[in-house]
Amino acid sequence: MTGTLVFGAGVLGSLYAARIHQAGYEVSVLARGQRLTELREHGILLRHALHGRQTHVTVPVVDRLDADDTYDLIVVLVRDDQLDSTFETLARTPTTSTLLFMVNNPAGSARIADAVGAERLMLGFPGAAGYRTAETVHYLVLPRWFQPTTLGEPDGRRTGRLTDARAMFRYSGFPVSLCQDMDAWYKYHAAWVAPVAYAIYAASGSNLDLARQPELIRLMLRAINEGWDALRVLGFPLTPRTLRLLQVLPEAGLVRLLAKVLTTRFADAAAYRHAQAAPAEMTLLARDLRAVIKPAGRATPAWDALQAAGDAALLGADPEPRSRSGTFARTDDRPREAT
């Protein structure tokens, strides 16, 4: 058996498998449970989250990964809270040459390398977002300036397999960037994603409610900068460099800009839906981030306040700051898992 296996059939796994298949590559997707039944009966149903264009793609589906299965590449697209069970499965496939983990990973790649073998490990992160309703995957491919599909070797080298993976994703329609320090990339990414998610939780689980609360947006921005400052003290280089815009632009202007961005359909698909669908992953991400930055010894009053407000909202309490009453979960249109 050769070709590529996409391990995980949630939003991003479905999107990447479908795009890779459409580009003419040999690819299968691994699914289980209800999602396995859906894919076998309906295939992958994609709907662009902004303009609504729909696509139906039939991708080969497998329901297990056996010890003697051989793939050139396995692309792992699962949530952070699903990694331990993923390790158990992948550790039994020693014949697969490369395992590309495209996951949230602020704790660093050493844990993954120990679990599956350092020589097989390649790192990355998806440049896409979305959510799922019933069998339909609503998706966005993120622009290069915001977050391209990012790939790198654990040691920062430029290798043949890295070049091959970049080519596959490019031909599949994803903007791609290579990174020489993926461990730093993961940390800086978590240090802005977790505060954004917690600000949404604190604003009754709504990006629109967050847009109406400039003080909460300001708290979110300060929490992000506290995390980045701690990472800088620990010697991790800011990556990607475009994040520096959030450090150099005036705070008041950023608050006004983000208040507008938060009301867009882009923010709904790229931020709100994922935060609402994956609170367990965001909670774990926040925990791991705290463990990473603790050795810096920096005070984090904004992040402390924001996390407390978000945790209270997730537990059903009435957090502060908050503009009006509301519940975290919207029962009328709650998206399903977003990986």
pLDDT means over runs of 10, the chain (339 residues): 88 96 96 92 93 94 86 91 84 80 92 90 95 90 93 96 97 96 96 95 90 96 96 94 84 95 90 84 93 97 96 70 34 41
pLDDT reported for residue 1: 52
Which residue do the tokens 């949630």 mark? 10
Q: What is the CA radius of gyration of the chain?
A: 20
Q: Phi and psi dihedrals of 46, rounded to 5?
A: -105, 140
User: pTM higher than 0.85, yes or no?
Assistant: yes
Q: Which two tokens stand for residue 217?
A: 């947006």
Structure confidence at residue 326 (pLDDT): 33
pLDDT of residue 214: 96
Please, what is the end-to-end C-alpha distance for the chain in angstroms?
A: 26
